[in-house]
Every structure is written in structure tokens, then in C-alpha cells.
Amino acid sequence: MSASPFEGVLSMLIRQRGVQGCMVVGEADGIVVDSNVQVGIQSNVVAALAAALYRKARLCSAAAGLSTVGFLQLEAERGHICAIGRDGLVLVTLAEPRAHIGRIRGAMLESLSVLA
Amino acid sequence: MSEEIRRLSEELARDPSSLVFMQLGEALRRAGQLDLGLKVAHRGLERHAHNADAHDLLARIRVDRGELQEAFDEWDMVLRLAPSHVGARKGMGYVLFKQGKLSEAEAHLSTAATQDRGDSSIATALRMVRRLLRYAHVAGNGHDAPGHDDLIAAQRRVEEEARELFADILGEGEHTALLLNADGLVAAGLYVTAEGEDVSQEVGAALTGVRDEALRAVRHLDLGAWRAVVYETDLATVALAPALDESMVLVAASHTVPLGFVRRVLDRCVQRATTWLEEVE
């Protein structure tokens, strides 16, 4: 079986400080295409919720006339969800509050081409 | 006819004494079929004259039809049947507010807020009524019962305050801010397009859905309270953050404005909105 085209990107993202998991998800169905997560992280749940959030932001933005959504970050008391999408796929990262979001954002923007 | 309405109609036809008429009446009300909803509620009440929720349904249909006094009378009946019915208090407060009877509206909403502390829409309405009352008293030089002109002056002052709430924070920059209540309605701020069109309500209604998804995500992933959602589009950076009473602040800035600056503006707008909302407890 050949290696997943997302393996390199996911390996790079999981090494960022505070990242608990990262995955490539189908935006429409929220199903995991490939993932790299720490033990205890339920990738299926994260994937479904992050994809739904990204999809909603994209649809709401279009309705508000704000064009295509790029990078999205949800900041919460006990963590962050970052997402960026292209061609029906979303790259999702789940991170701890201590994570360096600037670096994660940069890495995710650089990885966008892999979703094409 | 929607599938739900069809199903409920069939169920009611099979058992005309069933309480399903309340679900059917509500579904018709939500679908805007108010004449039909009114008929269903009346027929149901013929069999269930002492059901407080059925009278509440009738009152809500009356309000949607613009029949404020009839709605008020119906809610009055609800309170006789169920003295602690929060929906009736809330409804009566709304009608009295629309009729300009602010002190009476405040009394009903205050009772409703005490009975249901979790309903942010009551808290929001109560704050608005109290703010209007305060400004009307000022306009009327402190007289006990503000007159019609005082109420209009108070209304204007609230509208102006709301419109200008974030103006000094935003300055002449390429960004805009809105305070949206729990239902996504614009409570303060302004969203004007480059063409000068005010699209505050449309943008507010559209972006409230993002807040709902964020809430769902943090709840299921046990991430605690959400603090912000920030996303970038080809045209703008959009930042959302929660404020008092389940309201939300939205800042949108040109995509050329740095992300960190947008976040800073968002924090200041949230602080301003909280202070403004808390002025009237």
C-alpha cells in the first residue's frame, strides 16, 4: 500500500509545540481521510466537529458576501481548533492553550497545496 | 405544506381530542400560516380550555398577527391558569414594551427573569427596557411617568448610542464591529459595505451560525468556554467573541489588516459591549 500524500504534512504539524492531533477531513461528511493524533484524542469526533465548523463558516461567509474562507481558528478555554480548507478537504489541528498559533497557522498555510 | 405539518394534521384528524394541536399550531405559526394556526388553536381550546400552554400558543399567534391587545389578554388568562408561566410574563412584557408602557413591561420582565435566569432573551429585553426607562426619565426631567415625547427621545438616544458604540475604537480604520444578541439580531454597531449599504442585519444573521457551531464543538470536545473564532477570507478577516447574555461581538476588517490587530480590536469591542450592557442591571 502506498503512503498517504498527507503523511508528511501531518508529521510536520504534530511536531509543533502543543499540537495534540492533526488530520485531513472531508468537509462535506466530516470523515477522516488521514490523521496523526496523540493517544486519547478521538480523531473522528474532532474531525466531524471541525469540518462542520469550517463548512458553516464558509457558507455563512458566502451568505454575508465575504468570499472564500481560508484559515480559521477557534480559541477556547482549554484548547484551539485550527482549520484550513481547499477542494472539499479540510486540514484540522487540535492544540493545547499553550500552543504557538502563529507557527501552526504558518505551517498550515504552507501545507495548503497538499490538499489540492 | 411541510412534512411535519402534514404528519401533525393527520395525527390530529385521527384523534381530535389529542394535545397534538399545540404542536400543529406552533408549526403553522413558524411557517407563517397564521390564519390556519389561529383556527387550530381555537379548536383545541374548545376541548382544552384550561390548558395554559394552549392559551400561550394562541397569544403567540395573536402577536405574530399584530393583535397585541388580544395577545395580552390571552397571556393574562395563562397567568390565571399558571401563575408562574414564564412565557406569559415575557410575552406581556413584550406587548407592554411595544405599547410604550415601560414601567409595566419592566415589572413583567423582571418577574420572568427571576423565574428563569437561564433565558438570555429575557435578560436582554429587560436591559433594553431599563435603559429606555432611565433615558426617558432623564428626558422628562425626572418626572415619574415619562410622556410620549420622552419615550421617543429615549429611543433616539439608545439608537444613537448603539450605532456609535464602537466608533472611537474603530476610528477611520478599515474595520467594522457589531454587537449581536443571542438571536443574531443587531444590538449595536454598524456594518456598512464599501458602497455605503448598511448590511448589519444580514451579516449578523448569517454569521450567528458560526457561533452555534463553535459552541457545539467546544461542548463535545470538552474545551471549556469559547473565547473567539477568527477566520480569514479573500476579502476580510472576521473575528467573533462572546459577550454578556449570550450575545456576541463581531469585528470584520480588510484582509490587509494584520490578524493580531484585528484580535486586539475585538478584545476592546467586547470590553466596550460588556460595559455598555452592564450599565443597566
> pLDDT tens across B207-234, in order?
888 888 999 999 999 999 999 999 999 8
Mean pLDDT across B169-186: 86
Quick: pLDDT tens for B120-142. 889 888 988 999 988 888 887 76
* Helix pair angle (B52-64, B34-47), 10° resolution: 160
* Cell numbers for B87: 412565557
Cα–Cα dist A94/A82, whole Å: 7
As a whole number, mean pLDDT of residues B184-190 equals 89
Q: What ipTM goes with this model?
A: 0.93
- For residue B173, pLDDT over 80 is answered with no
Mean pLDDT of B77-89: 95
Residue located via cell numbers 432623564: B138
Selection from B197, B266, B269, B257 nearest residue B233 by Cα: B257
Kindly report each contact of residues A41-46 with a partner whose C-beta sits within 8 Å and lies 24 or more positions away, as own/partner: A41/A94, A45/B220, A45/B221, A46/A21, A46/A81, A46/A92, A46/A94, A46/B221
Yes or no, beta carbons of B233 and A69 under 8 Å apart? yes
Find out if CATH 3.30.450.30 is the number for domain B164-278. yes
The single-letter code of the amino acid at A110 is: E
Q: Residues in chain B whose beta carbon is closer than 8 A to a beta carbon of chain A?
A: 193, 199, 202-203, 206-210, 212-214, 216-218, 220-236, 238, 252
Q: Is-contact B249 B269, C-beta < 8 A?
A: yes
φ, ψ (nearest 5 deg) of residue A16: -70, 145
Residue-wise burial string across B65-103, b where 16 or more C-beta atoms lie within 10 A, e elsewhere: eebeebbbbbbebbbebbeebbbbbbbbbbbbbeebbbe
Q: Which residue of chain A is at minimal alpha-carbon distance from B231?
A: A72
Residue A1 has pLDDT above 60, yes or no: no
* pLDDT tens for each residue of B39-80: 999 999 999 999 999 999 999 999 999 999 999 999 999 999
B143-152: long-range contacts, CB 8 A cutoff, minimum separation 24: B145/B103, B146/B102, B148/B100, B151/B100, B151/B102
pTM of the model: 0.80
Tens digits of residue pLDDT in A57-102: 998 888 777 788 999 999 999 999 999 999 999 999 999 999 999 9
**Which residues of chain A have a CB within 8 Å of the CB of B192?**
none
Closest CA to B240 of A64, A86, A95: A64
- Grid coordinates in use for A39? 493517544
Q: Which CATH class is domain A7-115?
A: alpha beta
Cα torsion B145, B150, B151, B155 to 10°: value is: -150
- The whole-angstrom separation of Cα B115 and Cα B107 is 13
Q: Please report which confidence band the pLDDT of residue B1 belongs to, taking 50, 70 and 90 as the band edges.
A: low
What's the CATH number for B3-139?
A: 1.25.40.10
Mean pLDDT of A44-57: 95
pLDDT at B200 over 90: no
Mark yes or no for CB contact B209/A56 under 8 Å.
yes
The answer to whether the beta carbons of residues B63 and B34 sit under 8 Å apart is no
Helix (H) or strand (E) holding B8: helix B3-14
Task: Tell whether A103 is within 8 A of chain B (Cβ).
Answer: no
Nearest partner of B246 among B211, B219, B206, judged by Cα = B211
- The answer to whether the CB atoms of A71 and B225 lie below 8 A apart is no
Rounded distance between C-alpha atoms, residue B38 and residue B109, angstroms:
26
**pLDDT tens for each residue of A13-39:** 999 999 999 999 999 999 999 999 999
Domain definitions of chain A by residue range:
7-115
Task: Tell me how far CA of residue B136 lies from CA of B12, B155, B172, B280, in angstroms.
Answer: 49, 8, 32, 14
Q: Nearest residue on chain B to A69, judged by CA atoms?
A: B233
Partner residue opposite A49 with nearest CB, options B221, B224, B234: B221
Beta-carbon count within 10 A of B23 CB: 18
Least Cα distance to A21 among A103, A106, A81 occurs for A81
Q: How far apart are CA B60 and CA B104, in angstroms?
A: 19
Where do the CATH 1.25.40.10 domains begin and end in chain B? 3-139
pLDDT for A53: 95
The strand pairing partners of A89, in sequence order, are A26, A86
A63 touches chain B (CB under 8 A): yes
Amino acid, single-letter form, for residue B74: E
**B93 within 8 A of B105, measured Cβ to Cβ:** yes
Measured between alpha carbons, how far is B180 from B162 in angstroms, rounded to an integer? 11
Q: What type of residue is B260?
A: G
Q: What is the distance between the alpha carbons of residues B215 and A108, in angstroms, rounded to a whole number?
A: 23
Q: Where in chain B is the domain with CATH 3.30.450.30?
A: 164-278
Task: Please compute the mean of the pLDDT values over residues B168-189 and round it to a whole number.
Answer: 87
B59's grid cell: 397569544
3-class DSSP assignment, residue A81: strand
